[in-house]
Structure 1
Amino acid sequence: MSAQPDAIIRIKNLRLRTFIGIKEEEIANRQDIVINVVIHYPADQARQSEDINDALNYRTITKNIIQHVENNRFALLEKLTQDVLDIARGHAWVTRADVEIDKLHALRYADSVSMTMGWRRPQ
């Protein structure tokens, strides 16, 4: 058990375009989405180090999210959100991850519709 609270990485407002939805127009055209990811990990080694190998590499995680989102099609926001959550929690050091994805202009009078999902490592 870590003596200190987990470090928290926040990937804020990652703006991507993907195929999301079930309507004909959504299947034919990419739409704007905004992804927010929160990842908790102990960072015990990184706190005392200058070595990138001692830290959780948020650049790699972000690249994996971008590649997955841009190269796939999604009917449901739930599936897209779960896929991104799976990428965010993929490293063995991760103790908790939360993902929120906004589908912009999904409703006529709203800025967006968002889906939030979280995961906690079992104790």
Structure 2
Amino acid sequence: MNLNNAVIRIKNLRLRTYIGIKDEEINNKQDVVINARIEYSAVQAADTDDMSKALNYRTITKDIIQLVENNRFSLLEKLTAEVLAIASAHPAVKFAEVEIDKPYALRFADSVSLTLSVHKN
């Protein structure tokens, strides 16, 4: 079978973590909303129907949850880069993009977000 890349999207993963540099942010967990897009070749998984040939989005999500909830971050850039490293770690991943929103980070704005991506050969 000749397939293009499969796309896995993790949408609106709502977690709580310590994020920021102000005293209030350092001392209190805040909400973050994570969206990830992961592209990989699904040829073997589609041909075999074998889970070991697929990208396990459940495992990726558990790793992201553990990272976010068990650490502290000063910068949204650092948090996003570490989540992107998890999303792109599997050798079959060809492209990954992560966007993390920090709701109510700015007065009069719903959220502030940062997006990072990586292309792999």
> Any idea what SS the aligned residue of 1:38 has?
strand
Q: Which runs of 4+ in 1 moved over 6 A?
A: none
* Aligned residue pair count: 121
> Any idea what SS the aligned residue of 1:36 has?
strand
> Any idea what SS the aligned residue of 1:18 has?
strand
> Any idea what SS the aligned residue of 1:34 has?
strand
Q: Where in structure 2 are the equivalents of 1:56-67 lying within 5 Å?
A: 56-67=55-66
> Any idea what SS the aligned residue of 2:93 has?
coil
For residues 114 and 4 of structure 1, the distance between their equivalents in structure 2, rounded to whole angstroms, comes to 33
For residues 92 and 121 of structure 1, the distance between their equivalents in structure 2, rounded to whole angstroms, comes to 9
- Percentage of identical aligned residues: 62
Q: Where in structure 2 are the equivalents of 1:18-97 lying within 5 Å?
A: 18-97=17-96
What is the TM-score with the length of structure 1 in the denominator? 0.95
1:32 is displaced (CA, Å) by 0.4
Structure 1 unaligned residues grouped into runs of 5+: none
For residues 78 and 68 of structure 2, the distance between their equivalents in structure 1, rounded to whole angstroms, comes to 11
For residues 5 and 52 of structure 1, the distance between their equivalents in structure 2, rounded to whole angstroms, comes to 19
For residues 106 and 84 of structure 2, the distance between their equivalents in structure 1, rounded to whole angstroms, comes to 24
What is the TM-score with the length of structure 2 in the denominator? 0.97
Residue in structure 2 matched with residue 114 of structure 1 by the alignment: 113
Amino acid at match of 2:93: V
1:50 is displaced (CA, Å) by 2.3
RMSD over aligned Cα atoms: 1.1
For residues 53 and 33 of structure 1, the distance between their equivalents in structure 2, rounded to whole angstroms, comes to 31
